[in-house]
Amino acid sequence: MAYSIEVENIKCGGCANSIRKRLLAIDGVADVSVDIEAGTVTVEAPESAREMIVAIMAQLGYPQRGSVAGLKAAGAKAKSFVSCAAGRIRDEDKQDS
């Protein structure tokens, strides 16, 4: 079953790659696509995995839209910033090769 989850903080391809890589490592997740502009993650996985997927994305710094407030949101944004920076570094390394 495919379903979409609206999330905060997706800013670049590095963010999308971090999300894809982590979610594809979960048993039962067959496919993951990330729409950076819309801030959505579409997952092909059992509905029973949804809660775990949402929790993992929050740990990565991409909380479900509307689910994190105050200081927790600031922490999530900081985690996503690190992911963006790491993704940019990997992209630059690929271009230099």
Task: Output the pLDDT for position 9.
Answer: 86
Range of the domain at 46: 2-96
pLDDT along the chain (97 residues), means of 10: 92 92 96 96 96 91 72 57 60 54
* CATH code, 78: 3.30.70.100
- For residue 38, the one-letter residue type is A
Task: Output the pLDDT for position 82.
Answer: 64
**Two structure tokens written together for 41:** 């993650």
Question: Structural domain tally of the chain?
Answer: 1
pTM of the model: 0.71
Within 1-97, residue ranges assigned H as helices are: 13-24, 50-60, 70-96
Distance from C-alpha of 95 to C-alpha of 20, rounded to nearest angstrom: 21
Distance from C-alpha of 65 to C-alpha of 71, rounded to nearest angstrom: 15
